[in-house]
Amino acid sequence: MDPLRWPRVRDLLESALEIAEAERGSWLGAACGGDHVVRADVQRLLDANARAGAWLDSPVDAGAAFDDQRDQAGLSHGDRVGIYVIDQELARGGMGVVYRAWDTRLERWVALKALSPALPADLQARDRLHREARAAGKLSHEAIATIYALEEVDDDLFIVSEFVAGQTLRARMGNGRLPVREAVEIMLGVARGLAAAHDLGIVHRDLKPENVMLTTGGRVKVVDFGIASVGGSSGLTRTGIILGTPGYMSPEQINGQPADARSDVFSLGVVLYEMVGGRPPFGDTASWTVVSAVLERDPQPLGQFVDGVPAALDRVVMTCLAKAPGARYPSATAIVFALEPVLADLVAPARSSDAPAATTPTAVEPPGATSARWWLQVHQLAASVALALLMIPGWKLMSRLPRLPGRLLVMALLIMAAGIGTMRLHLWFTTRHDGAGLASEVVRVAPMLRWSNRLFALLLGLGGAAVADQSPELAAVCLACAAGNLVACEVIEPATVGRAIGRTD
């Protein structure tokens, strides 16, 4: 959306939401005065608000009936739920209530989350909930709160998980921003935990400061796995409840589209932005305002209003917050790769000062990350050299083709070879000297590079086919080179690049 149209769109949207739905269409047509572009913008936001429905207007009310039922049932200190004895309520929200409970069998504290009966109301929904809980139970990572069991007591479902002593990230943030280094350290812990989940195909779908715990020992724990992914691929449960929290949901979640690891990446970007900037990236938390801002507006870069934010960190955040999933990091692993050099640069000045350096977790890359980056450098250099060699048969085509077509073909091949070579050398330099920017540059450059390679191979192949009668040998060489270029571009390069930036899809 053009920023110059936003004030008018915002005012029209505010007014439209106050008008009865049956009269809204005719009113909007008159108010827009024939401006079809503005009307389309307002209608798109109205549609998004309608999809969100009552859940956005009152997220806590989604579980009001459940909360009342639990209150009437009297779950309080000393009550038993199977082998668990309730100690105290820890948290309450639209999805249910979380209690601290004592496991009488294993004699340990656990977190017991009672789910709303509205979620697993039918057999298919219950089956999905069981599958999600089993998947989350497979996770084993120090940054993830372990799920112990999915229990059914008196037809009610309960998720039993590790009890994490400490405070939520929301409590740590309070009403202000965190030091940049602390924010990066916390986000690295969260991203490492989510990377383990993404490797198993598990998407959190509701990452927010309330779902990140900071333990008394200084560790990071991501909680509530398996809860936010109760719904199907569309992001909706069978009862029509949209899962997630508006201000932290990706555009595709808001639009009811399938959510994959890149949706978690968007949420990570929102949390990191809020930690460093002291405010959410999309402003007011009012339901329709958040929805419209997430869908239409780009946040202000952190470096413009927070002192001491490295440019590399700003780039990481803005890449996470890209509207299109394909423009974001492909998984949390890529965020780890991008943030580790940023943290190293932040730690270096502290260690060089006279003051004692704060204890910082050692950045540990996943196995094979260093060798994958080395192979990516080799691949880019080798591909650049091979591209130059491919111009030899391309040049020979000029003498076999009619004068004008031959020259045009060779000129086109030269121009494309120069562009492709420049992009490859850029990726080689980025891989070697700017690890924090590698993933974002790959996301930006890879589509252009792939299509340029395809067009180069097509032109070379067409040239070879055109001279097949005059010079079968040259035609065979051109066709073989074109095929080899396609194999390198479509098969070898995606695997090499994906491993280097932590792509899991």
Give, as one character, the DSSP assignment of residue 87: E
Instruction: Give the CATH number of domain 174-352.
Output: 1.10.510.10
Q: Which two tokens stand for residue 488?
A: 């390198």
Mean model confidence pLDDT for the chain: 77
| Tokens linked to 486 | 């396609």
Q: What is the CA radius of gyration of the chain?
A: 27
Lowest mean per-residue pLDDT among 28-37, 84-93, 470-479: 28-37
Place of tokens 């589209």: 257
Pair of tokens at residue 462: 């067409």
User: What is the DSSP code string of 107-168?
Assistant: TEEEEEEEEPTTTT-SHHHHHHHHHHHHHHHT---TTBPPEEEEEEETTEEEEEEE---EEE
Q: At 358, is the secondary structure helix, strand, or coil?
A: coil
Q: Taking a C-beta distance cutoff of 8 angstroms, is the pair 227, 159 a contact?
A: yes
Mean pLDDT of 229-234: 42
176 exposure class (CB count in 10 Å sphere: 0-12, 13-18, 19+): exposed
Can 206 be counted among the known catalytic residues?
Answer: yes
Q: pLDDT-based confidence at 191, cuts 50/70/90?
A: very high
Segment holding 354, helix H or strand E: none
pLDDT band at residue 318 using 50, 70 and 90 as cut-offs: very high
Rounded Cα gap, residues 496 and 428, in angstroms:
13
Of 150, 127, 132, 149, nearest to 238 by C-alpha is: 127
Cα–Cα dist 238/190, whole Å: 30
What's the CATH number for 62-162? 3.30.200.20
On whether the CB atoms of residues 336 and 196 are closer than 8 A, the answer is no
Give 446's contacts (C-beta < 8 A, 6+ positions apart): 497
Instruction: Name the DSSP letter for residue 62.
Output: G
pLDDT band at 305 (very low <50, low <70, confident <90, very high): very high
User: How far apart, in whole angstroms, are the C-alpha atoms of residue 495 and residue 503?
Assistant: 9
CA 214, CA 193: separation in Å to the nearest integer? 13
Instruction: State whether residue 498 is helix, strand or coil.
Output: helix
Tokens linked to 133: 């809980």
Instruction: Name residue, tokens 């080179």.
Output: 481
Q: How far apart are CA 356 and CA 303, in angstroms?
A: 28
In this prediction, what percent of the chain has a pLDDT beyond 90?
20
**Helix or strand run (H / E) with residue 215:** strand 212-215
Comparing 175-184, 300-309, 343-352, which segment has the lowest mean pLDDT? 343-352
Could you say which of 103, 206, 224, 314 is catalytic? Answer: 206
- Do 174-352 and 369-501 come out as alike in CATH topology? no
Pick from 425, 424, 390: which is nearest to 410 by CA?
390
d(CA 466, CA 487): 22
Q: Kindly report the pTM of this predicted structure.
A: 0.64
d(CA 198, CA 407): 50
Rounded-to-integer distance, Cα 309 and Cα 311, Å: 6
Task: Give the mean model confidence (pLDDT) for residues 204-208.
Answer: 87
470 DSSP 8-state letter: T
**Cβ neighbours of residue 336 closer than 8 Å, sequence gap 6 or more:** 188, 191, 192, 195, 365, 366, 502
CA distance 224 to 147: 9
Backbone angles phi, psi at 110, to 5 degrees: -135, 165
Question: What's the Cα-to-Cα distance from 474 to each of 403, 407, 414, 483, rounded to whole Å?
Answer: 18, 17, 18, 14
* Secondary structure (3-state) at 286: coil
Backbone angles phi, psi at 371, to 5 degrees: -65, -35
For residues 180 and 457, give the distance between their C-alpha atoms in angstroms, rounded to a whole number.
Answer: 46
All structural domains of the chain with their residue ranges: 6-57, 62-162, 174-352, 369-501
Half-sphere exposure of 55 (CA within 13 A, CB side): 20
Name the residue with tokens 């509530």: 224
pLDDT tens for 121-176 read: 555 545 656 766 776 777 888 899 888 888 888 877 788 888 998 899 999 998 68
Most confident of 2-16, 269-283, 333-347, 448-462: 269-283
Residues of the chain by 3-state class (helix, strand, coil), percent to 5:
60, 10, 30
Nearest to 48 by CA among 246, 344, 332: 246
Using pLDDT thresholds of 50, 70 and 90, give the confidence band for residue 256. confident
- For residue 398, give the amino acid letter: M
Q: How would residue 4 be classed by pLDDT, with cut points 50, 70 and 90?
A: low
- What is residue 48's predicted lDDT score, i.e. its pLDDT? 67
The CATH architecture one would assign to domain 369-501 is Up-down Bundle (1.20)
Q: Under a CB-based contact definition with an 8 Å cutoff, are residues 282 and 244 in contact?
A: no
CA distance 318 to 328: 9
- For residue 303, count CB atoms less than 10 angstroms from its CB and return exposed for 0-12, middle for 13-18, buried for 19 or more: middle
The amino acid occupying position 203 is V
Q: Looking up tokens 């929805």, which residue turns up?
A: 291
- pLDDT tens track for 52-109: 554 444 333 333 333 444 444 447 888 888 999 999 988 776 556 888 999 999 999 9
